[in-house]
Structure 1
Amino acid sequence: MPEAAAASAAGLPARGTLLAFDFGLARIGVAVGELETRHANPLLTVHEEANAARFAIIARLLDEWKPVALVVGLPGHLDGREHELAPRCRRFANQLHGRFGIPVHLVDERLSSAAAERQLHDAGLSGWQARKPVLDAVAAQLILQHFLDLNAHAPA
């Protein structure tokens, strides 16, 4: 079962790859990071909407990157209320764990998409059409970086 949104890295090795997901109904952003360096990078955006196609792509990514754990963003409102998409994100996290048997950590992703928008705009991608293909992957990067930063005190 995915761990609570406290984003604890308990049980993680000092080294290894993590994959993070910014789950959405239309797209899933994916990022990759390393426990040793505590640095995350955007990887890709899954544009398929059918679950079978999504999980086939994810299976290939897991085979390629061989992560020790996965991170899934859990959306919430600024006032602490759960976002409408949060139950779907939890379900996605449960499916990842159930299908692949890899530990899954849920992490608060409030404002990750807005921060990704700002980051891409500041990088010169001012039009929505220019940002859209990479927005979710950058949001996943921010989610994963947040997880790594929260757990910077964990033994590395």
Structure 2
Amino acid sequence: MRTIGLDVGDKTIGVAISDPSGLIAQGIKTIKRSNLYNDIQEINKIINSFKAEEIVVGFPKNMNGTIGAQGQKVIDFVEYLKKEIDLPIMLWDERLTTVEVNRMLVESADMRREKRKKVIDKLAATIILQGYLDYKRKSI
């Protein structure tokens, strides 16, 4: 069963997909956001293309566990997504994911800021999805 991972931001949505066995996450795309309808259509194309059966969306909480402005935006996005796409959708705590990706890119790839901005959302979606897949595998 394939799972789609999403890192939803104001300007972009990072997208990752699991392998068919649900073990490994791989970043596939960064969607440049235009409007809610187009964003959902693009996600739906990816779901259909990979025959995904569930969606995991990164949920940005504050460090103390409360839901801030960005967290509320993600909740609103997921509520709209649920109306348009009939698949199970899970929220996954993504605290510090973007920080982790930035650190990885700087340390391992010595990548300039401009290049990091092009791949960071896709990599964040990959880390979110991999965390979910690992958790799911350990829970079985």
**TM-score, structure 1 normalization:** 0.83
Aligned to 1:132: 117
The aligned residue for residue 126 of structure 2 is 141
Corresponding residue SS for 2:95: coil
What is the correspondence of 1:3-152 to structure 2 with a 5 Å cutoff?
16-34=1-19, 36-152=21-137
The more displaced of 80-89 and 139-148 is 80-89
Report the Cα offset of residue 125 of structure 1.
4.5
Residue type matched to 1:151 in 2? K
The percent identity for this pair of structures is 26
**Residue 35 of structure 1: how far off its partner (Å):** 6.3
Name the SS for the 2:57 alignment partner.
Answer: strand
1:105-131: CA deviations, max 9, x gaps? 111000011111112223314211011
Structure 2, gaps ≥5 residues long: none
Q: Which has the higher helix share?
A: 2
How many aligned residue pairs are there? 140
Assess, with a 3 A threshold, how the Cα gap between structure 1 residues 86 and 35 changes in structure 2: closer, same or farther: farther
Question: Helix, strand or coil for the counterpart of 1:45?
Answer: strand
- Taking the aligned partners of 2:45 and 2:133, their CA distance within structure 1 comes to 24
State how far apart, in whole Å, the 1-side matches of 2:60 and 2:97 are. 9
The aligned counterpart of 2:138 is 153
1:47 positional shift: 0.9
Gaps of 5+ in 1: 1-15
Structure 1 residues 56-65 or 137-146, which shifts more?
Answer: 56-65
Q: Is the 8 A contact 2:22 2:133 kept in 1?
A: no
Deviation at 1:54, TM superposition (A): 1.2
2:13–2:121 CA contact under 8 A, matched in 1: yes
